[in-house]
Amino acid sequence: MLELNGKCLAFHGPLLYEAKILRIWDSKSRSIQYSEPIDDETKKEEDIKNIPTELIDKDCYFIHYQGWKSSWDEWINNDRIKEYNDENVALRKKLIQDAKKQQQEAKRHKSKTHSGSNNNNSGHDAKKRQDNKINKSTVNKKPNNTKMTETSVKVNASDHNAATYSQQFHNTLNSNLPKIILHIPMKLKSILVDDWENVTKNRKICKLPVMKKENNITNILSQFQRDTNTNGILSLVEQSLLEEYINGIKLYFNECISKLLLYRLEKLQYLQLIQERNENRNATTQLCDIYGSVHLLRLLSILPDLMSDTTMSLQNCQIIIRQTESLLLWLVVHSDTLFDMSQQDEDGDTYYINTSSQYEGLALGM
């Protein structure tokens, strides 16, 4: 039985974790049950506002994951919470065992692939087929059009690891599934709206490279990965799943930003960045090292639509969604530094800068 201050099991990613119920939202009475009486009406109203809009009409629970930082406390509904009993504890253990088996199978598959590559002819042919398969699809989308049936993925043939991650992540974004829901916190939704207005109405673009190196996408994801495994709380299986997710997001962003995530007004800036990088033949800078939090948020916000057109299993879709929701919550926690649009750099510029007539002409197709 789920009770206030009681122990429960909650899904976070593909696994179940021990948690404690701190508050309960009663959708019928439109009130929150607290472990201790609260007389501060302002706090009550604020707590209600913090309930995700998609959960406000459902009974839900505000939980704390045992052993985790309080920044991971969150509201969840009945789909993600289970009573703490012998049956569900057994389910938790089974999920861990299944995850370990998947990791072992992945290692065996990787070992077979590596063994096969020792044969120069067959290895070369397999590599060529893999690269051809990845490069077949093309796309011409804007940020507000997010179907993945024509996605373009181009991989450096000399980078086997990159190609492998690209193929795995691209395959996870190619099938037909029911509507997939991603819970985006209201604060991040507001940032996306402001971003749209800045570019389309105010005719501004993000200054690149990002103002602070630690706020580029590569470093954002690395810091998220470190924070998620603070004090080694993740098992080896969970670490492996997180590593695969992080690499997939980075590689996918680097290869597809021009097709999926840019407004017309930003195209010239992108072309200039590519030209500068190509002129420097020794440059190893990836687009993830140049773009920042806003463009990462654009990608995360459209993942459900991309996965709706995939052949991936519903369970794997849910794994990616839960990992993405964890990342979104982490972005909210660090939003004051990652989405500080008013801070000025040494040139006096802020996050968004005005564009020249050259940018306007390209946006209008001139």
Q: Where are the domains of the chain?
A: 7-87, 162-363
Tokens encoding 249: 């997001």
**Which helix (H) or strand (E) is 94 found in, with range?**
helix 86-116
Q: How many Å apart are CA 321 and CA 316, to the nearest integer?
A: 9
The pLDDT of residue 136 is: 42
The pLDDT of residue 166 is: 54
Q: How many Å apart are CA 230 and CA 68, to the nearest integer?
A: 9
Degrees (nearest 5) of the Cα angle 242, 245, 248? 150
- Contact in structure between 26 and 59 (CB atoms under 8 Å): yes
DSSP designation for 51: S
Phi, psi of 87 (to 5 degrees): -65, -45
- Tokens 């109405």 identify what position? 201
Q: Residue 165 is which amino acid?
A: Y
Query: CB neighbours of 214 closer than 8 A, spacing ≥ 6?
Result: 220, 223
Q: What is the pLDDT along the chain (366 residues), one digit of tens a residue?
A: 688 989 999 998 778 888 899 999 998 999 999 988 888 888 888 889 889 888 989 999 999 887 676 777 899 999 899 999 999 999 988 888 887 787 777 777 766 665 655 555 444 454 444 444 444 443 344 454 433 333 333 334 334 455 555 555 555 544 444 567 899 999 999 999 999 998 888 888 998 888 888 899 999 999 999 998 886 778 888 888 899 999 989 888 887 898 889 998 888 889 888 888 887 765 677 899 999 999 999 999 988 877 776 677 777 788 889 999 999 999 999 999 999 888 877 777 788 887 654 455 444 443
Query: CB neighbours of 134 closer than 8 A, spacing ≥ 6?
Result: 153, 154, 155, 163, 166, 167, 170
**Domain 162-363 bears CATH identifier 1.10.274.30:** yes
Q: How many Å apart are CA 338 and CA 295, to the nearest integer?
A: 12
DSSP designation for 80: S
The pLDDT of residue 339 is: 92
Q: How many Å apart are CA 91 and CA 73, to the nearest integer?
A: 23
Domain 7-87 CATH (choose: 1.10.10.10, 3.40.50.1220, 2.30.30.140, 3.30.930.10)? 2.30.30.140
- Tokens 């067959």 identify what position? 122
